[in-house]
Amino acid sequence: MKQSVTCFGSSTRDVFVRLSPGYFGGSLCFEQGSKVPISDIGFFSGGGATNTATGFSRLGFKASVVSAVGKDEDGRQVKKELQAERVGTANLVEEKKRTPYSVIITGVGKDRVILHYSGSSALLGHSHEINWRKISPDWMYVSGLHQNDTRLLGKIFSHAKKTGAKIAWNPGQKEISTGMDKLAQFMDCTDVLIMNASEALSLTGKTSVEKNLALLCLHAGIVAITDGRNGAHACAGGKIFSAKPFNVKVVDVTGAGDAFGCGFVSAVAKGKNLAQALDAGCANASSVVMFLGTKNRLLSEREIHSFIRAHRRLR
């Protein structure tokens, strides 16, 4: 029987723009009135809720989202793409503001530039529209809620306790900005906590991944920290595991964190050990960064195993 997961977070409409080779010269600067050549373009849905829900669905979970979009064409496209991925959209709230929109400029070196309109991303004002009675999954995956008010976070964690759902949490910058003192109470109820190295640094002030793992593991059951080309690390019960990244050609890194998160949590939920979960997360993230779009290409469980076998020797 399929395990179920409900993913909380943002939903966006994304356009990926890849600059033509040779245009980028070390700093990104466009002259007024200029016409800039691009080599590729793609339109996709994005945001933590849609990315992770799609990832879980492809990994064999019964997935649904709790998120907000606008009553516009972009919102309809986000919903259409989710439904095509067999993701439940009953709690995809529609509001008057426009759907969040991002222009991701790639082909500019190691990272990308994101122009973002937040629009309807904040769920707090719509929590009364969420049908909590229909949310009773095995897992709740909470990504960035884009607000430094913890009231909605409190409702999510309270509902998880009430229904017996396990919680995987990947806090966003807004949540992290509230500080360790406010977030500790939520971490204490978290089964799997996922952060990247810079987020962990912002939260704890410690530069060492090992120290952050040890500190955060005093609260959450399992802690995973991703560190780009330095790989990923996880801790549980005082034991630390690490995995090197796979050697792939990176086209765009957008969505890598969400891909790692759903790959890692999926493996944990299926009873895999932490070394296997790290490999699953790294494989899913490595696959996504090879293409434009945050969901291209999220892997099925069989594809994750094939990816690991094919790329293990290249580590």
Question: Are 236 and 273 a contacting pair, CB within 8 Å?
Answer: no
Residue 235 neighbours by CB under 8 Å, 6+ apart = 213, 214, 216, 217, 222, 223, 224, 241
- Residue owning tokens 């929109």: 101
Residue 216 structure tokens: 């955060």
Burial class for 247, CB neighbours closer than 10 Å (0-12, 13-18, 19+) = exposed
Reply yes or no on whether the pLDDT at 25 is more than 60: no
Q: What is the mean pLDDT of the chain?
A: 90
- Average pLDDT estimate for 16-36: 74
Reply yes or no on whether the pLDDT at 34 is more than 60: yes
Q: What is the pLDDT of residue 236?
A: 96
Reply yes or no on whether the pLDDT at 168 is more than 80: yes
Q: What is the pLDDT of residue 121?
A: 62
Q: What is the pLDDT of residue 147?
A: 83
Reply yes or no on whether the pLDDT at 24 is more than 70: no
Between 81 and 104, whose confidence is greater?
A: 81
Residue 265 neighbours by CB under 8 Å, 6+ apart = 56, 139, 141, 168, 192, 194, 277
101-153 residue pLDDT tens: 988 888 766 667 888 888 766 665 666 778 999 999 999 999 999 888 889 99
Q: What is the pLDDT of residue 258?
A: 97
Reported CATH class of domain 4-25+34-126+135-314: alpha beta
Reply yes or no on whether the pLDDT at 67 is more than 90: yes
Reply yes or no on whether the pLDDT at 28 is more than 80: no
Rounded CA separation 65/49 (Å): 6
Reply yes or no on whether the pLDDT at 224 is more than 70: yes
287-300 residue pLDDT tens: 999 988 889 899 99
Q: What is the pLDDT of residue 217?
A: 95
Rounded CA separation 8/140 (Å): 8
- Average pLDDT estimate for 34-57: 90
What pTM was estimated for this model as a whole? 0.92
